[in-house]
Every structure is written in structure tokens, then in C-alpha cells.
Amino acid sequence: MKFFVDTAEVADIRSLAAAGLVDGVTTNPSLVAKSGRDFKEVIAEICAITPGPVSAEVTATDAAGMIAEGKVLRAIAPNVAVKVPLTEAGLVACRTLAGEGAMVNVTLCFSPAQALLAAKAGATFISPFVGRLDDISTDGMRLIADIVQIYRNYPALKTEVLVASVRHPIHLIEAAKMGAHVATLPPNVIRMLLKHPLTDRGLEAFLADWQKTGQSIL
């Protein structure tokens, strides 16, 4: 499973990339706004950190506007994936941009039917939002299972399932068991994956025993 980092904070991306935990990055206007920086500069800097796909979202709502913005975003770096919403206009933009060789991430997916439409439009990635479905008492992971099953039934569909709105490690593990291709995770959730009390206690015991020897490796 590929790990994308869902953030526009460059320091977090650099830190996680150093540990080999970044296969790509997803951003959106809200995340960039939180960073307080220029949108295009942030995208360019992130693209220089990772060779993997970096999703940059359009802000237009009409197909022509999305296509025009997508072309501008693609010009920033070759690993930009243009992110468009799952609307009719977004699918028109997806089909056009994908036909021109762009990677396209179709976002805000909340149903298997929407995911099937995005794949038919040529999406590189489909982004189903599991956490937001959980928020309204709907099983977000059921959506992932359904999309993965549908895509497997039709090998001609090459769209990858990019699990989004991941709130905790259980979302990630369940998605991985289902066979989702990618998960995009906030930095704090990636770091949650590292934590286990037995790891901490074991390391503490090893270091205490080592200290008793009075030795040094260096």
C-alpha cells in the first residue's frame, strides 16, 4: 500500500520522507490556507521533495475553468496530479486532462456509483472519504470495500483507490486488508502507526541494560 501525506506543511513532509514514509502528497485549498503561503510555491516545493504524485486541487467549478487551472497546475512540476471534484463538470475536466496525459485525482467520493463514474472518466485516483461518512453514522470502510470489489471485477479500469479522510490507524489497516492501493494520512496519523506501548517498554529495558555494561558503541 502506498502512503500519501495529507498536508501542505513542508517540514512534516520532509521529516516523513526521510523515514521512507512518503509515496506522494495530497493537498487542498484548506490545507494550503492553513500554511499561510503562496499556493503555487508550496506545490512546487512539495514536488521537489517527493517524486511521487502531488495532488493540487482546482478551485473552479465549471469544466472549462477546471481544465484551464489544471493546465497551470501541471506546468508547476511533472508529478502534479490535478485534483477535481466528483461533479459532472469535474468528470468532464478529468476526461479532458487525462486524455492529455495528466494524472487526475477525483475527490469527494461518497458512493460506489460515483467511483465507477470517475474510473470511466479516466481518473488516476479516486478519493473516497471514510471519516466524513463515519461522522454521519455511515460505514465509511464499507465504501472502500465496495469500490475495491467493483474495480477488481473490471481489470480494464486502472483507477487506484486512494482512501481519504483517514482519522485513525484502524481506518488504514482495514483499508489495507481490503486491498486499497493508497491511503492519504495526516502526519499525526502516520506517527500514530509507530506507537505501541510494548515497543516503548522494550526499548527502555534494552537501554537500561546497556547502560549497566558501561560500554559505548562509538
Q: Which residues are catalytic?
A: 83
φ, ψ at 166 (rounded to 5°): -80, 125
Task: Give the Å distances, CA to CA, from 87 to 65, 92, 96, 97, 124.
Answer: 13, 9, 14, 15, 16
Rounded CA gap, 42 and 46, in Å?
A: 6
- Measured CA to CA, the distance from residue 111 to residue 52 in angstroms comes to 27
Q: Which amino acid is at 8?
A: A
Asked if 131 and 167 touch (Cβ cutoff 8 Å), the reply is: yes
Q: Which three cell numbers stand for residue 119?
A: 474510473
The SS3 assignment for 192 reads: helix
